[in-house]
């Protein structure tokens, strides 16, 4: 069995099993907890509207904070949108998902995907440098932050090297790229990458609670 | 004077072949093997001094496709190779002799050229049950290879079966088929895989062996780098469509008719090392991708068992979905148990309120 066969076969199966089991463990484990009762009297009805508003209001910082954290938001958007574009509209990636869902969709030319991946990778490095040079950010960072950065950046770097054919051997390069993605999947449920699921829940909860108490989302 | 005693130069002069024609031939072989042009005169001199190389070609567990391909070599042609450069002392499909007479030809060549002959092997070799699944003239091919390999100067494994086991070794591999280098480990071995291999690769490496007295530089799979250094994808004339994101979605859509990239249709070009994209088959007429079909990856080990020729390279090999369903169930159960334990803890802290 070659490294690529291992990456496409058993490694992928193990990674997906851990990913699925881990995600469901975290979701069910939190949702099945007893929810905190809000004993205060509702100051306005329709708290759920506030919850939905909360999803979008927090997508951009409160105006007075923009000069301080605006750049951080922009970097975050570049990383997340880049990840989305490369993952969904890169032809080899689409074919991976098409094999699961049974249908294909439109993809972007390889050059565009490469450009987006380069920009995203640069944004990831800028985010890391900002974390390292800002004393407060550095102080509140732990292993999870750096591990999350690593498992997110590795697929981009290995993917670019594979796409540009810079490995001595393409087959091994492709295998390393796949293995780096499986590493991300394995780490996903146990670290801060779970924000992909939690951000919706937490923004809704915060928004609806504030709204119930008569405040802003 | 015996045929084997004449140098190739003497033999060619005897046949009225000019030095100019001979140099042109050497330049052709050199360019196909990426040998620098400055080396051509030295190669020609070396070849002219060489004597016809005795060679024995054995067909084991095979389909004769490799020989079919070899007979279509054009630079040099097989006839040119056989009549001028090598003394092919045994090849059961090409020779007139059969039975005891043919076996005698092998014995004679082995005796006369012990330690000097080139052994060309076509087909895999079964190991299970002492190799009983592939036998010629009462001798298993396993024993035959061991016997012939002992007296060979070098071995060239022709085709994917002789190189890596090939189709004979495809899962579940009932005969325990393997390639030559898994049996013979103490001789120089060159693999020329492909199903079939490129004819010019076969004849090119033989000519190179005669000119330089050694097998050419090889990669980790013992394949000559000159021919197997690049992937099909790197050299494919459809590569530009891959880069532009233009793909054929089926074998009869607009993309297919426009000659766009076949990646979506399962082309294995990106992981396949071979020279098809540059040398092509049948005197440079065409090759699989030019005819509209994706590369099968036939010069790579286990190409038969990579879960479908038409499955895109980036698609995973799922096996069964049961594992994922079990994982989902285990995750839910684990989450429920965690929640129950946490609730108990909450009760303990809050005193049940």
* CA dist., res. A175 & res. A214, Å (int): 54
**Statement to judge: residues B151 and B38 lie in one domain:** yes
Q: B80-84 long-range CB contacts below 8 Å, 24 or more apart?
A: B80/B25, B81/B203, B81/B206, B81/B207, B84/B8, B84/B11, B84/B12, B84/B15, B84/B52
pLDDT given for residue A25 in this prediction: 94
**Statement to judge: residues B266 and B329 lie in one domain:** no
> Which CATH number do you get for residue B290?
4.10.480.10
pLDDT given for residue B298 in this prediction: 95
The answer to whether residue B279 sits within a structural domain is yes
Q: A interface mutation test: which of B169, B220, B316, B328 has the most A CBs within 10 A?
A: B316
Whole-number average pLDDT of chain A: 91
pLDDT band at B75 (very low <50, low <70, confident <90, very high): low
**Statement to judge: residues B76 and B185 lie in one domain:** yes
Q: The tokens of B124 are what?
A: 């895999």
C-alpha torsion sign, points A167, A168, A173, A174: positive
List pLDDT tens digits, range B4-54: 567 777 777 777 777 777 777 777 777 777 677 777 777 777 777 777 788
The answer to whether residue B311 sits within a structural domain is no
CB-based contact, A109 to chain B, within 8 Å: yes
Residue with tokens 């490799």: B66
Neighbours of A121 (CB within 10 A): 20
The answer to whether residue B83 sits within a structural domain is yes
List pLDDT tens digits, range A1-32: 788 889 988 999 899 999 999 999 999 998 88
Among chain B residues, the shortest Cα distance to A109 is held by: B245
Which residues neighbour B348 within 8 Å (Cβ) at sequence distance 6 or greater?
none
CB-based contact, A165 to chain B, within 8 Å: yes
**Statement to judge: residues B42 and B135 lie in one domain:** yes
Question: Is A170 close to B270, i.e. CB distance below 8 A?
Answer: yes
**Statement to judge: residues B236 and B345 lie in one domain:** no
List pLDDT tens digits, range A64-99: 999 988 999 999 999 999 999 999 999 889 988 888
Q: Please choose, from the candidates B82, B46, B35, the residue with its C-alpha nearest in 3D space to the C-alpha of residue B216.
A: B35
**Statement to judge: residues B299 and B328 lie in one domain:** no
The answer to whether residue B314 sits within a structural domain is no
Last residue of a domain, one of B212, B228, B244: B228
The answer to whether residue B16 sits within a structural domain is yes
Q: B interface mutation test: which of A99, A155, A164, A181 has the most B CBs within 10 A?
A: A99
The answer to whether residue B312 sits within a structural domain is no
| A122 bridge partner residues | none
Prior bond to B92 cis, omega within 30? no
Structure letter (DSSP) for residue A186: H
Helices (H), B15-172: 19-32, 40-49, 65-70, 78-80, 99-112, 128-131, 141-150, 159-164
* CB B69, CB B122: distance < 8 Å: no
Given a cut of 50, is residue B63 above it in pLDDT? yes
Q: Percent of chain A, pLDDT > 70?
A: 99
Give the gap in angstroms from C-alpha B2 to the nearest C-alpha of chain A. Answer: 48
* Residue, of B319 and A103, whose pLDDT is higher: A103
The answer to whether residue B238 sits within a structural domain is yes
Given a cut of 60, is residue A217 above it in pLDDT? no
Q: A interface mutation test: which of B232, B317, B349, B352 has the most A CBs within 10 A?
A: B317
Which residue range forms the structural domain that includes residue B89? 3-228
Last residue of a domain, one of B188, B204, B228: B228
**Statement to judge: residues B62 and B151 lie in one domain:** yes
CB-based contact, B249 to chain A, within 8 Å: yes
**Statement to judge: residues B111 and B156 lie in one domain:** yes
**Statement to judge: residues B152 and B264 lie in one domain:** no
ipTM comes to 0.73
Residue with tokens 């949702």: A31
Last residue of a domain, one of B181, B197, B228: B228
* CA dist., res. B165 & res. B125, Å (int): 7
Give the gap in angstroms from C-alpha B181 to the nearest C-alpha of chain A. Answer: 17
| A71: three-class secondary structure by DSSP | helix
* CA dist., res. B319 & res. B330, Å (int): 19
Measured CA distances, B346 to A24, A198, A205, B334, B353 (Å)? 22, 22, 20, 18, 9
**Statement to judge: residues B44 and B135 lie in one domain:** yes
Question: Is A17 close to B339, i.e. CB distance below 8 A?
Answer: no
**Statement to judge: residues B239 and B216 lie in one domain:** no
**Statement to judge: residues B166 and B261 lie in one domain:** no
Give the gap in angstroms from C-alpha B256 to the nearest C-alpha of chain A. Answer: 16
Q: How many CB pairs under 8 A join A and B?
A: 131
CB-based contact, A16 to chain B, within 8 Å: yes
Neighbours of B222 (CB within 10 A): 20
Question: Is A29 close to B330, i.e. CB distance below 8 A?
Answer: no
> Which CATH number do you get for residue B139?
3.40.50.700
Q: Which residues of B touch A91 (CB under 8 A)?
A: 245, 247, 263-264
* CA dist., res. B188 & res. B149, Å (int): 10
Quote the number of domains for chain B. 3
The answer to whether residue B315 sits within a structural domain is no
Q: Which residues of B touch A2 (CB under 8 A)?
A: 301-302
pLDDT given for residue B4 in this prediction: 57
């Amino acid at each position: 069995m070659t490294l690529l066969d291992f990456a496409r076969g058993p490694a992928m199966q193990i990674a997906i099993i851990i990913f699925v089991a881990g995600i469901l463990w975290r979701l069910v484990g939190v949702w099945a907890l007893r929810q905190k009762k809000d004993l205060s009297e509702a100051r306005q009805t329709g708290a759920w509207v506030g919850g939905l508003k909360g999803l979008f209001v927090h997508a951009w910082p409160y105006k007075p904070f923009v000069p301080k954290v605006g750049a951080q938001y922009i970097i975050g958007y570049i990383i997340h949108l880049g990840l989305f574009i490369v993952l969904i509209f890169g032809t080899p990636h689409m074919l991976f998902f098409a094999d699961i869902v049974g249908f294909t969709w439109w993809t972007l030319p390889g050059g565009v995907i490469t450009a987006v991946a380069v920009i995203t990778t640069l944004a990831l490095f800028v985010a890391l440098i900002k974390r390292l040079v800002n004393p407060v950010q550095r102080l509140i960072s732990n292993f999870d932050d750096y591990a999350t950065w690593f498992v997110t950046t590795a697929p981009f770097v290995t993917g670019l090297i594979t796409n540009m054919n810079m490995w001595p051997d393409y087959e091994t390069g492709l295998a390393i790229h796949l293995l780096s993605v499986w590493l991300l999947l394995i780490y996903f449920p146990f670290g801060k990458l779970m924000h992909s699921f939690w951000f919706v829940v937490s923004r809704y909860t915060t928004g609806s609670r504030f709204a119930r108490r008569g405040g802003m989302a | 004077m015996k045929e084997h005693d004449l140098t190739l130069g003497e033999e060619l002069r005897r046949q009225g072949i000019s030095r100019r024609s001979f140099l042109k031939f050497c330049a052709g072989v050199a360019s196909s093997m990426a040998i620098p042009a400055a080396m051509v005169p030295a190669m020609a001199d070396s070849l002219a001094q060489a004597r016809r190389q005795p060679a024995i070609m054995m067909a084991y567990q095979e389909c004769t496709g490799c020989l079919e391909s070899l007979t279509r070599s054009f630079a040099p042609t097989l006839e040119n190779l056989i009549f001028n450069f090598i003394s092919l002392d045994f090849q059961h499909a090409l020779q007139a002799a059969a039975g005891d007479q043919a076996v005698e030809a092998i014995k004679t060549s082995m005796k006369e050229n012990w330690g000097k002959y080139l052994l060309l092997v076509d087909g895999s070799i079964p190991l299970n049950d002492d190799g009983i699944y592939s036998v010629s003239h009462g001798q298993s091919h396993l024993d035959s290879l061991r016997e012939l390999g002992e007296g060979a100067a070098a071995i060239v494994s022709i085709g994917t079966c002789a190189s890596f086991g090939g189709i004979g070794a495809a899962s579940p591999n009932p005969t325990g088929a393997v390639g030559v280098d898994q049996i013979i480990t103490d001789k120089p071995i060159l693999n020329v895989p492909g199903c079939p291999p490129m004819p010019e690769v076969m004849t090119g490496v033989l000519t190179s062996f005669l000119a330089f007295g050694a097998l050419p530089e090889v990669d980790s799979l013992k394949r000559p780098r000159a021919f197997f250094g690049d992937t099909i994808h790197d050299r494919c004339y459809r590569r530009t469509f891959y880069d532009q994101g233009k793909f054929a979605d089926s074998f009869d859509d607009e993309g297919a008719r426009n000659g766009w990239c076949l990646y979506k249709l399962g082309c294995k070009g990106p992981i396949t090392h071979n020279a098809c994209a540059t040398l092509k088959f049948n005197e440079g007429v065409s090759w699989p991708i030019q005819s509209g079909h994706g590369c099968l990856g036939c010069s790579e080990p286990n190409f038969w068992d990579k879960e479908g020729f038409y499955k895109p390279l980036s698609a995973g090999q799922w096996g069964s979905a049961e594992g994922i369903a079990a994982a989902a169930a285990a995750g839910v159960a684990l989450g429920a148990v965690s929640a129950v334990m946490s609730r108990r803890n909450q009760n303990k802290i809050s005193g049940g309120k």
